[in-house]
Amino acid sequence: MMKATLILANGSVFSGTSIGGTSERICEMVFNTSMTGYQEILTDPSYAGQGVVMSYPLMGNYGVNHEDNESQRPWAEALVVRHLSPVGSNFRCEDSLGDYLLQHNIVGIQGVDTRALTKLLRSQGTMNGRISCAEHFHVQEVMDKLAAYRVSGTVERVTRKEPQVYAPDGDLNYRVALMDYGVKQNMIECLRKRGCEVTVFPAHTPAAEILRGERVGDRCVPYNGVMLSNGPGDPADNVDIIKEVRALYESGIPLFAVCLGHQLLALATGAKTHKMTFGHRGGNHPVKDLEAGRCFITSQNHGYVVDGDSVDPAVAQVSHVNVNDGTVEGLKYRRKNCFTVQFHPEASPGPEDTEYLFDRFTASMAEAQNTPMGGDR
């Protein structure tokens, strides 16, 4: 097996053997604490520009299949594991994880003490890393490349180029416009199974186009609600998108936003965001719903967070907080039928405890249908 080396921006070196593609890869290294769900993680567009360290020691034991993809291709730049199972054993298995990495040229390394690596990233923070199979390299040249790398332009990379319509699973109850900043497939499915026809729009679609509605025959039918999806990168980089999000907010249309969408709406309404030391990534993060007074275990994948102190109480109030570190996990806006969460209620992978939020969204659309368009929706 070919030797591979991971070099971090702080000078730490981890050696192992190569899995997947063998080209050099520089990316932001983050860790995920999930025990399963590696295929959903690799195909989550929110990981664009990042390499994923799996803290659980065994990966690939149930293989991969075509059903568990969260997008049409993997977006993670690299995968770091302690041990890669050479064979997948599961009735749904169609291929091994190793072959999947190779087919998609995802660079990887196994044989690394991933728990030690995770502890390093926790204590010193997320940092850039370089995985390479090269036996000889110039250390200073590598360090300069690591210092220069930044995750940027990722929303433009992952968003679809044309609108795409998904029919409801059953009777048509609502028409939803879903803004694709890096949307996961299960987010679409959670809407479809609640009777929503989902039109997924490219990230830079103007708000005016959304608010015109869907053309049905010779007329335009208004959308019942808008959902802002998850996605990669620094939310503050999306200046033009934030302007359009503001217009959607001011229109009064029911709004539900997740992850990056949650951050974009916060920025659009005057709040601020900042980068976390190491972020939240995994399927075991406890979040407290302040209104319900109970805790839910959630799936998360974010490296930025809304500053709670920057939220104008006249605009919104914090609705959910992370039990581990007290960071903002959700906002309930004073404007009717508008709420957002930082975590992933659609899961995939992870617990489905908070999928009830999609029911809350459909309820908000039902309420808005009974309110005159000129009123406070």
Q: Which of 28, 70, 197, 346 is catalytic?
A: 346
Residue 343's alpha-carbon distances to 79, 221, 267, 280, in angstroms, are 22, 31, 17, 9
Packed helices 260-268 and 239-251: angle between N→C axes, nearest 10 degrees: 80
Distance between alpha carbon 346 and the CA centroid of its chain, in Å? 11
Q: In the block, which residue shows the tokens 């009830």?
A: 356
Helices (H), 29-162: 38-42, 97-103, 114-124, 139-148, 154-158
Per the annotation, the verdict on 141 as an active-site residue is no
Q: What b/e string do you get for 287-310 counting C-beta neighbours within 10 Å, with b at 16 or more? A: bbbeeeeeebbbbbbbbbbbeeee
Q: What b/e string do you get for 245-272 counting C-beta neighbours within 10 Å, with b at 16 or more? A: bbebbeebbbbbbbbbbbbbbbbbbebe
Q: Which of 40, 259, 280, 329 is catalytic?
A: 259
Single out the residue of 357, 350, 349 nearest to residue 227, CA to CA. Answer: 357
Task: Determine the straight-line distance between the first and last CA of the chain, rounded to whole angstroms.
Answer: 61
Helices (H), 62-113: 97-103
Per the annotation, the verdict on 338 as an active-site residue is no
131 phi/psi in degrees, rounded to 5: -110, 130
Q: Is 213 helix (H, G, I), strand (E, B) or coil?
A: coil
Per the annotation, the verdict on 259 as an active-site residue is yes
What does the block give as tokens for 260?
């990056």
Q: Which residues carry out catalysis?
A: 259, 344, 346
